[in-house]
Structure 1
Amino acid sequence: MSSGNAYHGKVGDHFAQMAGTSPYNAFTDRPAVLDLVGDVTGARVLDVGCGAGHYTEALLERGAVVTGIEGSTTLLGHARERVGDRAELRAHDLEKPLDFAGDACFDVAVCALVHHHLTAREQLLSELLRVLRPGGRLVLSTTHPTAEWLHHGNSYFDESWVDHPLPDPSLSIRYQRLTLETLVTEWLSAGFALERLVEPRPLARLREVDEARYEKLGNEPSFLAARLRRPQP
């Protein structure tokens, strides 16, 4: 993500530790995103905002050739520990163009739980359309607008930036509330075709790990995931 809103220092360390087993990440968002990605055997995949490398690792296990980019050097260090030299990992501020990549050089792009942290979302979407081959797919996930409304209250149409506190009260993450209308409009305006929209539910085995979270995530939306495609000429 952007260097400004990326998870630096203690925030990055906290996220890296949590994302491996969290009901939200490991049992809800990641399975949904990987299901939307589908078969990536031999595919060139760009992991946008690769974080601590959990999605990169899963994509490698599915036979993909992965390039991961991340604005946090803290998280990039965790990703390198996780996948070693099996993937190309590079520091990159997602508020800036993807100038390291040529046109149509990737088959798939994955952008998991990054979109709502960015200010230059339209630029990034345009760049992703450029670097994907015709027919290539972008799988993107973000916070669910209804979940944000339930949590913050006020107007559903409030698209303000919020600082979400972490268990350590001295730490927080910054992101923007976005409506479904805004999200879909941005995707389509960038030139993508929307193939599938998913409201991820938790894996059934979460019930054995954390029944309370399983019930909550099974009854209230938390994330929104989409598979977009660069149209053929």
Structure 2
Amino acid sequence: MSARLAAGPMASGAHKPVRAPGEPPLFLHELIADAPPGARVLDAGCGPGSWRYGDRPDLDVVGFDVKFPPGPPPQSPRVSVLRADLARVPLRDGCVDLTVCHYVLEHVSALEPCCDELSRVTRLGGTLYLSVPRAASFDDRLYRFAGYFAKYALLKLGKRLEHQQRFDLDSLLGQFEARGFAAVALARVPAGFSWMNDARTKPLQGPFTEVLAWLHRVFALDLARDANVVLTLRKTGVPGARGTAVERRVTHVCRECGEHSVVDFEAPLPERWICPWCGKPNPLGRLR
């Protein structure tokens, strides 16, 4: 798989990632916005919903998960919510136009059957959206450490360790190229540490991200870089097919809403950038 870097304007400040004319959609909000009316969309491992289903009431959405701790997404005449396992999806072959798997694969116990099922339900010519943490990143290692600490140091021995699988871009591509998918677009996404919005870690999030920004600014130590992979693939039905994926630029992620941004300032750099999605301030280290 080769990648070409997407072009975009150099604006002063923070802006949403730029999609040039003719470029394929990559990010989840783009894929949902571009889906044709009546398209069938699968939200695999949906939790409370990977996006606001009501934004596109003309889509046929099926969401499922093994459990719904914050509650399932709201149902409607065109939204069905099921309790199901990603290793055994209760849908027929090739019935989905757009399959969304948003930060789910790292949590599964058995990776191969889950990848098989994502491939099976996606129609030929359909789109698969994937997002996963990169296992070598500081963010993912910290998340794993927090899980081990809670389980063993705090004696929560019945707690399931959340991140069961480890990924990098090549391993993720390999899983799905072997199943007849070709990459269309990708982004290497830094950490925003929005997972720390959990009530148990929220008091630590502000000081922690401030320290990370200071380390980046003063020592050029960037512990947030290349933390996640976002990828869209098209099902070609030809195993081993290599696509030329458009690589989109994301430089920062909001610690509050978790959305992607591109931050470009002229010197001197401010100590804060404002998220163009939610309007909340975030500490700024250096430009990426």
Instruction: Tell me, yes or no, whether TM beats 0.5.
Output: yes
Q: Does 1:102 align with 2:92?
A: yes
Larger mean Cα displacement after TM superposition, 33-42 or 123-132? 33-42
TM-score in terms of structure 1 length: 0.63
1:43 and 1:65 in contact (8 A); partners too:
yes
Q: Does the residue aligned with 1:119 lie in a helix, a strand or coil? A: coil
Instruction: Name the aligned partner's letter for residue 79 of structure 1.
Output: P
Residue 135 of structure 2 aligns with which residue? 145
- Give the Å deviation of 1:36: 4.6
- Give the Å deviation of 1:114: 0.4
Query: In 1, distance between residues paired with 2:76 and 2:161?
Result: 27
- Between Structure 1 and Structure 2, the one with more helix by share is 1
Structure showing greater Rg:
2
| Paired residues for 1:175-186 under 5 Å | 175=163, 176-186=165-175
Q: Does 1:119 align with 2:109?
A: yes
1:67 and 1:89 in contact (8 A); partners too:
yes
TM-score in terms of structure 2 length: 0.52
User: Residues 146-170 of structure 1, C-alpha deviation per residue, up to 9 Å, x if partnerless?
Assistant: 424x6639xxxxxxx9464399865
- Give the Å deviation of 1:85: 5.8
1:163 and 1:173 in contact (8 A); partners too:
no
| Count of residues in correspondence between the two structures | 184
Residue 227 of structure 1 aligns with which residue? 232
Q: Does 1:42 align with 2:47?
A: no
- Which residue among 182, 204, 207 is the counterpart of 1:193? 182
Instruction: Name the aligned partner's letter for residue 226 of structure 1.
Output: L
Q: 1:166 to 1:68 in 2, by over 3 A?
A: farther
| Paired residues for 1:73-88 under 5 Å | 73-75=68-70, 78-80=71-73, 82-83=74-75, 87-88=79-80
User: Residues 123-150 of structure 1, C-alpha deviation per residue, up to 9 Å, x if partnerless?
Assistant: 22222222122100010101123424x6
User: Residues 153-198 of structure 1, C-alpha deviation per residue, up to 9 Å, x if partnerless?
Assistant: 9xxxxxxx94643998656742122233322211211221111111
Query: In 1, distance between residues paired with 2:176 and 2:237?
Result: 16
User: Residues 65-120 of structure 1, C-alpha deviation per residue, up to 9 Å, x if partnerless?
Assistant: 10001011435xx124x4566510000122x322x211221111000000111233
Q: Does the residue aligned with 2:93 lie in a helix, a strand or coil? A: coil
Instruction: Name the aligned partner's letter for residue 83 of structure 2.
Output: A
Residue 131 of structure 1 aligns with which residue? 121
Query: In 1, distance between residues paired with 2:148 and 2:33?
Result: 33
Q: 1:137 to 1:89 in 2, by over 3 A?
A: same
1:144 and 1:223 in contact (8 A); partners too:
yes
Q: 1:42 to 1:164 in 2, by over 3 A?
A: farther
Residue 10 of structure 1 aligns with which residue? none
Query: In 2, distance between residues paired with 1:89 and 1:132?
Result: 18
Q: 1:164 to 1:184 in 2, by over 3 A?
A: farther
2:42 and 2:96 in contact (8 A); partners too:
yes
Query: In 1, distance between residues paired with 2:28 and 2:190?
Result: 11
After superposition, the CA RMSD in angstroms is 3.8
Percent identity for Structure 1 against Structure 2: 26
Query: In 2, distance between residues paired with 1:114 and 1:186?
Result: 15
1:71 and 1:91 in contact (8 A); partners too:
yes
Query: In 2, distance between residues paired with 1:224 and 1:115?
Result: 12
Q: Does 1:92 align with 2:115?
A: no
Residue 70 of structure 1 aligns with which residue? 65
